Structure formats: structure tokens, C-alpha cells
Amino acid sequence: MLLEVKNLSIYYYTLAGVVKGAENVTFSIGRGEWVTFVGESGSGKSTVAHAIMNIVPSQGKIVSGEVIFEGKDLLKVGKEELRKIRGKDISMIFQDPMTSLDPLRKVGDQMVEVMTVHGVSEDEARERAKELLEKVNLPPDRLDYYPHQLSGGQRQRVVIARAMVLKPEFVVADEAVSMIDVSMRASILELLESFREEYNLSQLFITHDIAVGKLIADRIAVMYLGKIVEIGPTDEVLKNPAHPYTMALIQAVPSIARRKKEKKLKITGEVPNAANPPNGCRFHPRCPFSSETCIAHEPELVEIGHNHFVACHHPLH
């Protein structure tokens, strides 16, 4: 395995109390594999993504777990070694290109800097930056543009190009298409796919849109209130969802709903406060199949099919 995440927990210490952003999250990603995390806002998927890069906000703390990348625990390596790994071996594509790009610097300078800090000469770095812009279908003269001079889609292409300049083995893409116009999303996903084919790229893709996951993922993990509730091969999860929450996400998207006449699950209420999550199964207050067992006991991930796991006392199959 290229990446192994074991029992990862991240808490946020706020005025409202301790928010368990993610708790005991465990999964792995193989070489060349793409795994998509889906879930509503606040489910913990972006929290996991940032923790893998060992970048959490000041009020957050990684309280337990391991993030093993090529045999090294990224949560235990020194700052200098982590700096060498970031960008070169692991890279990240952030949600908002306007905040991930420095508005006061030309995009070319920002791309070149990623390479020079890893020992690439200035001339070689600039040539490489030009090559990458061409790969993402932008003319080389865009190196001399400032971020505000580019469209939203162009900025995201620059962010992707910058993430790929050192040919990383693994990329974390946090809501990489959520702020892009719908008409541009397919082209951005195709762009990522082209890098996968060229570099044998592995990727963790974070999205709130399960339909996007269908397009690019080998496996899908569904998160709810800081927990993985289902994970498995994409086709299997979408065709045979075992968790009621997964089924509800699928039924909310007509393009991937399994059968038009299928009775829709009725999910009531709002997502509970993460600072005071329910006992037992965290989904039980909204679940139509909730029982006393669900209220009293938290379900563990159990394998129900080949590489298909669900955390539910009353799985749908």
C-alpha cells in the first residue's frame, strides 16, 4: 500500500466545546488507486484530507492515529523531512484557487518556487512550469499573469499544474471542482485523469457530490459526522449501498439513482451538533431503521462483500 491511515482522530477545541472532526478513521490507498470521500458539509472528509498533509488549523489537533506513507508516519517525521515530502511525493489541490494562490505574485513565480525549494534550478523550473501549463491547456504566457487576471477555471488549472510540477506519487484533492462552473467540471476531472495515466498517480478526492465520485473513483468512502459509515468499490457501493445514509445520498442524485420506482428513504432532521454527537450510531436520530441497538451501541465497520465494508446494525443487504 502507498498510504495507510490507521485510527486517525482529529478534534477541534472551540468555545462551544470539543468537536470531534474525525474519529478512528482507517483506510488505505494503493499505487495508482483513486479513492473518493463523500459526505455532507461537516462530515469530516476535508478534516481527514488536511490531517494526511499534517496541516490542521490552530484550534485543531490530531489526537491519535497514524498516516503511513511509503513506510513513514507523516505525523511523526520532523518538519524538514515533511517539507521534503510535501510537493515532491505528496501534493494537495485546495478547494479555492483564490486562497491557495498568492494574489500578489505571478502564477509562474509560484510554480517555480515549488520546484526550487526542492533543488531544481531556476531555469529548469521555469521550463517545467511552461510544460505543465501546456498540459493543463493554458498558454505559456499565463506564467506572467496574476491570479486575478485568470478565470476561475484557469486558476484551478494553475493550481493543478503547480501540484504536479514535481510528479508526485499521491495527490489530495479537496473539493477540487466544487467552486468551478458546472460546465468546466468535466474538463478538470479529465485533466486529473490524464495525470493519473501519465504518472500512475494515486489520489484521495474529497467531494460532497457522490455523482462526481462515480466518475473518477475506484473506491468510495462515505463519511457521516466524523465516521466512515461505508467504503467499498465504486460500482458495488453505488449499485448495492448497504448503509441507509449512502442510499439517501444516491437517491438524491437522479443521474445515479438506481431505479426510478424505488421507494425513497425518508431521512428526517438535521445533522447533529458535532460537539455533542449522539450515543451509539451517530446516524440513528435520522435513520428510518433505528432501533434500541443503534441507540446503545456504535456499529463497527464489517465486511459484507469483497472489500465492501459498512458500519450499520441493520444494513440494507
Residues 303, 217, single domain; the answer is: yes
Grid cell listed for 227: 465516521
In a domain, 221, yes or no: yes
Grid cell listed for 265: 428513504
Residues 132, 247, single domain; the answer is: no
In a domain, 316, yes or no: no
Residues 279, 132, single domain; the answer is: no
In a domain, 234, yes or no: yes
In a domain, 160, yes or no: yes
Q: Say which residue, 192 or 62, is predicted with more confidence.
A: 62
HSE-up (13 A, CA, CB side) for residue 258: 16
Residues 75, 216, single domain; the answer is: yes
Other beta carbons less than 10 A from residue 7's beta carbon: 11
Q: What is each CA distance from 69 to 36, 37, 104, in whole angstroms?
A: 18, 18, 34
Distance CA 117, CA 72 (A): 21
Question: How many domains does the chain divide into?
Answer: 2
- Mind giving me the DSSP string for 9-34? EEEEEETTEEEEEEEEEEEEE-TT-E
Answer yes or no: is pLDDT of 165 > 80.
Answer: yes
Q: Output b/e per residue, 264-279; b: 16+ Cβ within 10 A.
A: ebebeeebbebeebbe
List, for residues 243-277, the tens digit of each pLDDT value: 999 999 999 887 666 555 567 788 888 888 888 89
Grid cell listed for 128: 517545467
The pLDDT of residue 197? 86
Model-level pTM?
0.91
Residue 301: domain span: 3-89+172-181+200-310
- Mind giving me the DSSP string for 75-140? TTS-HHHHHHHBTTTEEEE-S-HHHHS-TTS-HHHHHHHHHHTTT--HHHHHHHHHHHHHHTT--G
List, for residues 67-93, the tens digit of each pLDDT value: 999 999 999 999 889 988 988 899 999
Q: Is the separation of the CB atoms in 126 and 144 below 8 Å? A: no
In a domain, 299, yes or no: yes
The pLDDT of residue 291? 96
Pairing of strands 60-69, 219-224: unpaired
